């Protein structure tokens, strides 16, 4: 026993030394493979969920998410103050309210603010879009813009993007041009009633006013034969746009958690007309593929990340795949931070350079003891 254990340790050590040598890049620095760390620790028995992440021109990481830490589901904001590669730890600013609802009109856990999208402009302006579920069982998309300071958030005006008897959810915020800001989202009331379909609202005055939302037919399943939801859209250049979304069966009872969910990827040359193909396609259509998101590596290549029960853990792990290798999924997929028996979901990955090192930061949600969704992050150098 003792002998065997010693040999095992020796093999493990030499393997990790090999990994460190073969992938350390030109600077001789060790790979960073940091642990899961909580974004905040003052609501660990509550719900912190739906993180949105952006990196600004200075390399500062911005995070907006919802938390019920003060008794209602509000949006909160932090930004990074330091990133230490040795400990793979990030220092964060104190959390500040982005929104602050009252418990009478927005009783948790159903009513409240959800699923922020975050866009930081070149001048540092922070743009947030999200959806708010009210007591009339309507859900509306809202928008705000500020300078990212606590005083800026406190003074920011919440601008309705949608209103009325609608159920609009899961926005994605994209700047197409200086005078062209768009919000894509899914709605179950704007196309075929009861079917989630993707719509777009547009602002030509930097978010002050928004056009009436219109369906984006080429992002939706023909004939509303499936739900289409969780759109995420990015502009790569004047003639290059990418998108990801989730689809699931009409008539299924599970809403976005339905086991028929699958991830799709879309491309477009004008950001209006899309070509969409499936990334996941499990033969029995019973593998949850949940909340896909785009991210971009240091060379600008498009990747997809989402949560799946199809890679060995029925509690779900996060996978990522290069968009260009999506046809080879699942062979082309990699697991990010797998942990058997623990549910991880809603990954957001950003690529940044710290002290000359190319690093990734993934911010995501881990369901911890008691069923609490908690936002955490990890710093690493290899996908
Ligand atoms: Ca499916
Ligand atoms: Ca699936
Ligand atoms: Ca897991």
Q: How many helices (H) and strands (E) does the chain have?
A: 2, 25
Q: Which ligand is nearest to the CA of 250?
A: 1
pLDDT score recorded for residue 328: 97
3-state secondary structure of 293: strand
pLDDT score recorded for residue 60: 98
pLDDT score recorded for residue 254: 85
- For the chain, the structural domain boundaries read 1-31, 36-380
Report how far ligand 2's centroid is from the alpha carbon of 285 (Å). 5
Report how far ligand 2's centroid is from the alpha carbon of 283 (Å). 9
Calpha distance 240→225 (Å, rounded): 27
> pLDDT band at 149, cuts 50/70/90?
very high
Report how far ligand 3's centroid is from the alpha carbon of 246 (Å). 20
pLDDT score recorded for residue 30: 87
Mean pLDDT of 186-211: 97
> pLDDT band at 10, cuts 50/70/90?
very low
pLDDT above 70 for 28: no
pLDDT digits (tens, 9 = 90+) for 78-125: 999 999 999 999 999 999 999 999 999 999 999 999 999 999 999 999
Q: Which ligand is nearest to the CA of 290?
A: 2
Report how far ligand 1's centroid is from the alpha carbon of 376 (Å). 29
Report how far ligand 1's centroid is from the alpha carbon of 7 (Å). 46
The residue behind tokens 């082309």 is 332
Q: Which ligand is nearest to the CA of 279?
A: 2
Question: What are 220-227's contacts with CB under 8 Å, separation 24+?
Answer: 220/191, 221/247, 224/191, 224/192, 224/195, 224/197, 224/250, 225/250, 226/250, 227/186, 227/188, 227/195, 227/196, 227/197, 227/252
pLDDT digits (tens, 9 = 90+) for 43-77: 999 999 999 999 999 999 999 999 999 999 999 99
Calpha distance 127→119 (Å, rounded): 5
Report how far ligand 1's centroid is from the alpha carbon of 186 (Å). 17
pLDDT above 90 for 154: yes
pLDDT digits (tens, 9 = 90+) for 336-368: 999 999 999 999 999 999 999 999 999 999 999
Quick one: which of 379, 349, 358 has its CA closest to 63? 349
C-alpha dihedral (368, 371, 372, 374), degrees to nearest 10: 40
Q: Which ligand is nearest to the CA of 280?
A: 2
> pLDDT band at 29, cuts 50/70/90?
confident
pLDDT score recorded for residue 24: 42
pLDDT score recorded for residue 252: 83
pLDDT digits (tens, 9 = 90+) for 213-256: 999 999 999 999 999 999 999 999 999 999 999 999 998 888 98
pLDDT above 90 for 23: no
High-pLDDT (> 90) share of the chain, %:
90
Report how far ligand 2's centroid is from the alpha carbon of 48 (Å). 26
- How much is the mean pLDDT over the chain? 93
pLDDT above 60 for 11: no
CATH code for the domain defined by 36-380: 2.120.10.10
pTM: 0.92
Quick one: which of 79, 115, 82, 90 has its CA closest to 38? 90
Sequence-distant (6+) residues with CB within 8 A of 136 are 165
pLDDT digits (tens, 9 = 90+) for 249-293: 998 888 989 999 999 999 999 999 999 999 999 999 999 999 999
Neighbours of 242 (CB within 10 A): 20
Report how far ligand 3's centroid is from the alpha carbon of 340 (Å). 4
Calpha distance 331→323 (Å, rounded): 13
Is 172 within 8 Å of 184 (Cβ atoms)? yes
Quick one: which of 75, 190, 172 has its CA closest to 129? 172
Calpha distance 115→130 (Å, rounded): 5
pLDDT score recorded for residue 15: 35
Is 155 within 8 Å of 145 (Cβ atoms)? no
Report how far ligand 2's centroid is from the alpha carbon of 282 (Å). 5
pLDDT above 60 for 12: no
pLDDT score recorded for residue 27: 52
Q: Which ligand is nearest to the CA of 314?
A: 3
pLDDT above 70 for 9: no
pLDDT above 60 for 159: yes
pLDDT above 60 for 39: yes
The residue with greater pLDDT, 23 or 30, is 30
Q: Which ligand is nearest to the CA of 308?
A: 2
Report how far ligand 2's centroid is from the alpha carbon of 21 (Å). 37
Report how far ligand 3's centroid is from the alpha carbon of 374 (Å). 14
């Amino acid at each position: 026993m003792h002998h065997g254990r010693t040999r095992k340790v020796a093999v493990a050590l030499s393997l990790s030394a090999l990994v460190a040598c073969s992938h350390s890049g030109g600077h001789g620095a060790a790979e960073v493979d940091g642990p899961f760390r909580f974004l905040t620790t003052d609501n660990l028995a509550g719900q912190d969920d739906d993180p949105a992440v952006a990196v600004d021109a200075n390399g500062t990481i911005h995070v907006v998410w919802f938390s019920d830490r003060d008794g209602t589901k509000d949006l909160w904001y932090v930004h990074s103050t330091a990133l230490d590669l040795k400990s793979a730890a990030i220092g964060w600013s104190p959390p500040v309210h982005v929104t602050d609802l009252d418990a009478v009109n927005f009783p948790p856990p159903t009513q409240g603010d959800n699923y922020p999208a975050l866009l930081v402009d070149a001048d540092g302006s922070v743009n947030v879009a999200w959806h708010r579920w009210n007591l009339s069982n309507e859900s509306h998309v809202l928008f705000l813009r500020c300078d990212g300071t606590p005083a800026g958030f406190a003074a920011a005006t919440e601008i309705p993007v949608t209103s009325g008897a609608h159920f609009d959810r899961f926005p994605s915020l994209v700047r197409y041009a200086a005078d062209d800001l768009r919000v894509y989202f899914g709605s179950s009331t704007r196309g075929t009633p009861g079917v989630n379909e993707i719509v777009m609202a547009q602002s030509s005055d930097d978010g002050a006013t928004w056009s009436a939302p219109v369906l984006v037919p080429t992002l939706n399943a023909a004939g509303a034969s499936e739900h289409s939801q969780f759109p995420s859209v990015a502009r790569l250049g004047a003639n290059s746009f990418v998108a990801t979304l989730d689809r699931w069966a009409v008539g299924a009872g599970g809403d976005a958690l339905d086991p028929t969910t699958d991830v799709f990827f879309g491309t477009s040359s004008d950001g209006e007309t899309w070509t969409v193909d499936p990334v996941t396609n499990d033969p029995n259509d019973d593998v949850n593929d949940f909340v896909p998101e785009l991210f971009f590596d240091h060379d600008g290549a498009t990747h997809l990340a989402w949560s799946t029960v199809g890679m060995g853990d029925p509690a779900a792990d996060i996978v990522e795949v290069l968009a260009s290798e999506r046809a080879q999924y699942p062979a082309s997929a990699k697991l990010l931070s797998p942990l058997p028996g623990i549910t991880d979901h809603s990954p957001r990955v950003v690529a940044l350079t710290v002290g000359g090192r190319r690093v990734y930061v993934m911010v995501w949600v881990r369901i911890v003891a008691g069923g609490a969704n908690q936002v955490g992050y990890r710093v690493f150098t290899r996908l």
